[in-house]
Structure 1
Amino acid sequence: MRDKPLPTGFGFPLGFAAAIAVTIGAVAAGATRQPGWSVAALVLVVAAAAVLSTPLAVLGTALVSWALHDGFVLGRGGDLVFTRDSALAAAVLAGTALLGAALARLSLLDNANVPAQRTGPPVLSGRSSGAGAYRGTPAPPRGGPPTRRPWRGPVR
């Protein structure tokens, strides 16, 4: 799983495009005679969206997947049909979306990066200009080699 999901603004269009491509491929392969194959392929699209994106994008992808399956695999002209097969496809896709979104969300919560606790207050500089001059900005370390060569005339 990813450490950070794709934003909904990218995840939903990606799922939408994948669902369209899978539906076109399923219809071209003859899934109108065996609609279960189309549902199985769209379940993979919804599961992939669950791994890569946000829960809201996954739910939107499942809804679009159902509409594409219902309109172009079950109802051949793009019209939605409400049959027993349509209800079963809706239940399978919704279940996949909810389970995938929940698992992805739990995985993201487990992988959350928590910053380490600070051990002491930051070192503040008393200078009026340069690095560390602003309140709250750590000062550079003192001592060590000079940062610039002092002016001694032209280099020969």
Structure 2
Amino acid sequence: MEVQIGGLVGLYGGAVIGIIAWWFGRRMAKKQRGLDELHAHIWQKARGISWFFTLASIYLLFTLIMFGMELSPAIVLAVIMVVHMTSWGFTGMILSINMNMSEPLKPSKVKFGIFIVALSVICFAILSITTGNWWFLLASVPPNTIGIIFALTPEKSSEEF
């Protein structure tokens, strides 16, 4: 069995950087009195919502395996972990922005932005799987960015001063 140094550095380096960022963020939020009931509610709700995305990714991976695609346990676990952590982060970010705005985001805009991101990821993932070239997933970055910006940008009010 061959040890992959890059994999170990990425795995443990990512964990260390994540823990440091989490600690630093909590420290800054504590200084600004940001660790209140609203903060706890937002991130608890985000964690709950992220489990739905995780469940969907598990079903998708099981479906791929049933159709005969061979996936290693490491890839499956990595996909599940990435889906869970990114959906938790994005959901928490959306809820934080929405709860702290004077006028909340329109749910239809947020849903459409999330739809753009999901459709982009699914289409480019299918393209990557069928061609065997994982670089196609990089092509999903621009539509994902557009979807996130669309979802998180409040509408300009038509009131003139």
What is the TM-score with the length of structure 1 in the denominator? 0.28
Higher helix share: 2
Rg larger in structure: 1
